[in-house]
Amino acid sequence: MRPTRLEKPAATRNNLKTIAALLPYLWEFKVRVILALSLLVLAKLANVSVPLVLKEIVDALDQPRAELVLPVFLLIGYGVLRLCSTLFGELRDAIFAKVTQRAIRRVANRVFSHLHSLSLRFHLERQTGGVSRDIERGTRGISFLLNFMLFNILPTLLEIGLVLAILIKQYDIRFSIIISLTLLAYIALTLIVTEWRMIFRRTMNNMDSKANTQAIDSLLNYETVKYFGNEAWEARRYDEHLQSWEKAAVRNQTSLATLNAGQSAIIAVGVTLLMLLAADQVIDGIMTLGDLVLINAFMLQLYMPLHFLGFVYREIKHSLADMERMFTLLDENREIQDQPDAKVLAADQATIRFHHVDFSYETNRQILFDVSFDIPAGQNIAVVGHSGSGKSTLARLLFRFYDVRSGCIQINDQDIRTVTQQSLRAAMGIVPQDTVLFNDSIYYNIAYGRPEATQVEVYTAARAAHIHDFIESLPEKYATIVGERGLKLSGGEKQRVAIARTILKNPVILIFDEATSALDSNSEKRIQAELKRIAQNRTTLTIAHRLSTIADADQILVMDHGRIIERGTHQQLLASGGTYAQMWELQQQEEIDQHQQESTISAS
C-alpha cells in the first residue's frame, strides 16, 4: 500500500520556530502575561527571602537563655513570605489560565480551518484517525509548553541566579563553584539523555497515530468486517501497531529511569559536598548555625525545582514532539487558493463553459482530454459514459476541488480561478451519487443546505424530496439521529435527504451526479419529476447512468476515456446509431428482462 504523506516520519521541526508560532497568541493578552510574569517574580523573591529570614530566626534563637528574646516580627515575616510565595503563584495561574486556554482554542481552530482549506487531493490521502490524534496531542502539548516553560523554567532560572548572587556575596566562593558545577553536570546529563530519548517518543507518537487510524477505519467499515468475518484479522492488525508502540514505550520508560537515577546521583554528590564544606566552616567559627541552615534551605529550594526542571525539560521536549505533527498539518500547502484580487462570482442566469480542458489527478495518468462544451443559462446538459470515462471529474472541477491542467472553466465569462471559492460554491448545489450524512439528526442534515433556514422551509424541502412522510413516521421524526455517515438510513433515504438539502440551498447551478441511482423505479419516477421541476430555469449538469432519466435533456454528451465522442439530443444520438444508441438499446433490453423476471416471480 502506498504510504500517504502523513505516514512519512515528520521532519524534526525547529523548536524555536514552534515556540515562536505561539507568541502571537500570548500577545493577544499582553496585560495578563505581564501581570502573570510580575507575580512570578514576586513569588520567587518571596521564596528566596524565606531562607534569609529563617537564618535570622535561628541566629536569634542561638543565644544563651538569659539573652534569648522571641523574634516575633521575624516569625510573622517568615509566615507571610511563605504565604506570599504560594499565593502569588496561585494568582499567577488564575490570571494566565485564560491565555493558555485561548491559545489552545485558537491553534486548534486554525488547524481545523486549515484542514478544510486543503484540496480534495490531500483529503483523499489523509488518515482521519491519525490526524485527529495529532491535533489532540498537539493542543495538549500547547497547554503544557506555555505553563511549564513560563512558570517553571523561567522562575527556576531566576531562583538559581538569585541564590548564586547571595552565596557569592556572603560566603566562600567554593559554595558557588560547587553549585555551578553541579548545575552544569545536571543540565548536561539532562540535555544529552533527553535528546536520545526523543527517538522513542516520536516512535510512540507515530505508532499511536497509526493504531488510531486503523481502529477508526475498521470501526467505520464495521459491516464490511462482519461480512467477511475478519474481526480477528482486524484485531491482529491493530495489535501490530500497539506492539510497536509498546516496545517504544518500554524503552522510553527504562531510559527515563536511567535519567532520573543519574540526576539524583549528581544532586546527592553536590548536596553532600556543600554540607561538608558548610559544617567545616561552622566548626571553624567562620559561619554561624543560621548560615548552615540558610545554605541547607537554599539547597533544598534550589535542587528540588532543579530536579523538577529535569522533568519539565523532558516534558517540554515531548510536547514539542507532540506539537510538531500538528504544526506539520499547518505546513501542508493549500493547493487551491483564491487569487489576491479574486472577485465574487456573478452567477445570475449562469452560463457554463468548459474550454479545451485537460486534467490529470497524477502526472502520469491523464483523465480529461481537450473537453469543450457549453451549458447555456437555464438549460440541462447531461453527460453519460462508462465508468471511469471522466464524468464525475467534471463536477469536481466545476466546484474547483482541483484546478485544470490546461484550458479553463468559465461561468458567465468569468474564469472560476479568478473568483472566490466561497462565492463559486455558494452558487452551486449537488446531489452526489454517494451521499454521506453527518452523525446528527435528519433535520440538521437537511438544514445543512442553508443553516439559517426556517423550520417551514426545511419541511417544504423535505416534502419536495418526497421524504417528509417517511420522517414523520419515525418515532423521533426529524430529531432521528442518522448514525455515522448516515448508516441508519437506507441508500434511497439518504439520497432523498441529499436532494432535500440541495433543494433547500436553492442554488443557481444544479449538478445531479447519478442523483437517483439508489432509488427504486417507482421512487425514481416521482423524484425525477420533482428534480425536473426544481431544475426549471436553472443551469443544470446531469451525470447519469440510466439513459431513460436524461432523455429530455437539452443536450447529451457521451464520454469515453476522458473525451467527448458524441453530442446531441436524445433523438439525434439514437438516429446516428453510435455509442449512445448501443447503450440505449442495451439498457432497454435489460429493463425488459428485469420486467419479465418480476412478472414471473409475481405469477409464481
Angle between helix 72-117 and 289-331 (nearest 10): 10
Residue that is last in its domain, among 264, 298, 331: 331
Q: Is residue 336 part of a domain?
A: no
Q: Is residue 269 part of a domain?
A: yes
Q: How far is CA 63 from the centre of its chain?
A: 67
CA dihedral 60, 63, 65, 70 (to 10 degrees): 0
65 shares its domain with 192 = yes
With a cut of 80, say whether residue 189 has pLDDT above it.
yes
Using alpha carbons, list the distances in angstroms from residue 131 to 200, 201, 216, 302, 439: 20, 17, 11, 41, 19
Q: How far is CA 201 from the centre of its chain?
A: 20
**pLDDT digits 0-9 by tens, 15-72:** 666 666 667 767 777 788 788 778 877 887 787 777 777 777 777 776 665 455 567 7
Computed over its alpha carbons, how large is the radius of gyration of the chain?
A: 36
The span from the CA of 193 to the CA of 256, in Å, is 9
**pLDDT digits 0-9 by tens, 439-474:** 889 899 899 888 888 999 999 989 888 889 899 998
DSSP 8-state class, residue 419: B
98 shares its domain with 229 = yes
Q: Is residue 433 part of a domain?
A: no
Contacts of 2 (CB under 8 A, 6+ apart): none
The span from the CA of 333 to the CA of 117, in Å, is 10
Residue that is last in its domain, among 469, 501, 533: 501
Cβ atoms within 10 Å of 311's Cβ, excluding its own: 16
Q: Is residue 28 part of a domain?
A: yes
557 shares its domain with 417 = yes
Please name the amino acid found at residue 428: M
Query: By the 8 A CB rule, do 132 and 348 touch?
Result: no
319 shares its domain with 468 = no
- The b-or-e profile of 538-548 (16+ CB within 10 A means b, else e) is bbbbbbbbbbb
Q: Is residue 4 part of a domain?
A: no
118 shares its domain with 71 = yes
The span from the CA of 129 to the CA of 6, in Å, is 11
pTM over 0.75: no
284 shares its domain with 316 = yes
Please name the amino acid found at residue 493: E
Longest dimension (CA), the chain: 128
Average of pLDDT values for 315-333?
A: 70
The span from the CA of 480 to the CA of 474, in Å, is 7
Using alpha carbons, list the distances in angstroms from residue 527 to 39, 99, 228, 466, 479: 68, 53, 35, 7, 24
Q: In the chain, how many domains are there? A: 3
Cβ atoms within 10 Å of 165's Cβ, excluding its own: 12
Q: Is residue 186 part of a domain?
A: yes
248 shares its domain with 393 = no
Tell me what pLDDT residue 152 has. 65
279 shares its domain with 297 = yes
With a cut of 60, say whether residue 8 has pLDDT above it.
no
Residue that is last in its domain, among 483, 501, 519: 501
Q: Is residue 8 part of a domain?
A: no
Using alpha carbons, list the distances in angstroms from residue 128 to 135, 210, 528: 11, 10, 36
Tell me what pLDDT residue 67 has. 52
Q: Is residue 340 part of a domain?
A: no
232 shares its domain with 103 = yes
Residue 463 belongs to domain spanning? 438-501
**pLDDT digits 0-9 by tens, 504-529:** 888 889 888 876 665 666 666 767 77
Instruction: Output the nine-digit C-alpha cell for 439.
Output: 452523525
With a cut of 70, say whether residue 303 has pLDDT above it.
no
580: CATH: 3.40.50.300
Average of pLDDT values for 257-278?
A: 82
The span from the CA of 195 to the CA of 184, in Å, is 17
Sheet architecture: strand order including 380-385: 428-431, 509-513, 539-543, 380-385, 555-560, 563-568
Please name the amino acid found at residue 174: R
Tell me what pLDDT residue 487 has. 75
Instruction: Output the nine-digit C-alpha cell for 366.
Output: 491523464
With a cut of 80, say whether residue 130 has pLDDT above it.
no
Higher confidence at residue 333 or residue 508? 508
Mean pLDDT computed over every residue of the chain: 78
Contacts of 190 (CB under 8 A, 6+ apart): 259, 263, 309, 310, 313, 314
Average of pLDDT values for 552-570?
A: 89
The span from the CA of 380 to the CA of 399, in Å, is 17
With a cut of 60, say whether residue 498 has pLDDT above it.
yes
92: CATH: 1.20.1560.10
208 shares its domain with 323 = yes
The span from the CA of 297 to the CA of 291, in Å, is 10
Question: CA quadruple 145, 252, 205, 14: dihedral positive or negative?
Answer: positive
Tell me what pLDDT residue 125 has. 61
The span from the CA of 48 to the CA of 37, in Å, is 17
383 shares its domain with 236 = no
322 shares its domain with 304 = yes
Q: How far is CA 83 from the centre of its chain?
A: 42
